[in-house]
Amino acid sequence: MLDIDQIIRSRRKTIALIIQRDGALVIRAPLRTPEKTIRELVEQKKGWITKKQTEMRKNRPATVRQFAEGETFFLMGKSYPLKIVKRQRASLTFEQGTFLLAEKFRSLAREAFTRWYKQTAAILLSARIEILAKKHNLQPAKIRITSARTRWGSCSSTGTISLTWRLVMAPPEIIDYVIVHELAHLKVKNHSKSFWAAVALLLPDYKTHIAWLKKQGHTLDI
């Protein structure tokens, strides 16, 4: 029997099986779903779960961030070098294609990068959603930037579209795919054939972008 690392209950209507990037199995389930029902579903999906866990563990980053001089970080699909500077009031800035990290904040580099990426994502991703929403005449009720690790985006039953800040590291075409995916959920709430038909209508080559995320998605992190 497969181990379930975490069960998260909420006011949702269906059970979702989520394989995190470290291979952990997380279950999202309706509040009153019996644990027996959850475990029966996990057993039914055992083959798929095992396959996805193997893929995730295989694709985990091989190195740990050192936040050292010359190390590169992604922004909109391109990699930019890090430079450690002595005289800078802000912990982290981005100027002329270079990340500048104040030496006195080096021990807090991960926090500095996370904060910078969140702020940048709030601007760039929100702007892109507005452009694509207007283009396809699909208007979300609200836009949120989250810190989700296992989902690139989501669309709530009330029409709120959420995107993880990590997505701002991806190439523009990948960002557009995730946004279009969530916009399509404004029309079709599930992942039925009708949903994928709606996605294909908005973005015919969407399968290429799904393949990219499966292969390269693990690189979009710090």
Give the CATH number of the domain where residue 119 resides: 3.30.2010.10
In a domain, 64, yes or no: no
In a domain, 65, yes or no: no
Q: Is the dihedral of CA 140, 145, 148, 152 positive or negative?
A: positive
Domain of residue 156 covers 72-219
First vs last C-alpha separation in the chain? 33
Number of neighbouring beta carbons within 10 Å of residue 16? 12
Report helix, strand and coil shares of the chain as percent, to nearest 5.
45, 20, 35
- 114/46 same-domain check: no
3-state secondary structure of 82: strand
Q: For a pLDDT cut of 70, what percent of the chain falls above it?
A: 96
Q: Quote the pTM value.
A: 0.76
- 17/115 same-domain check: no
What residue type is 60 in one-letter code?
A: R
Confidence band of 92 (pLDDT split at 50, 70, 90): very high
Share the mean pLDDT of the chain.
91
Q: For a pLDDT cut of 90, what percent of the chain falls above it?
A: 74
- 110/193 same-domain check: yes
Classify 97 in phi/psi space as left (phi over 0), alpha (psi -120 to 50) or beta. Answer: left
What integer pLDDT is reported at residue 38 of this predicted model?
93
Helices 172-184 & 193-202, crossing angle to 10 degrees? 140
- Is residue 63 predicted with pLDDT exceeding 70? no
What integer pLDDT is reported at residue 160 of this predicted model?
95
Report the domain count for the chain: 2
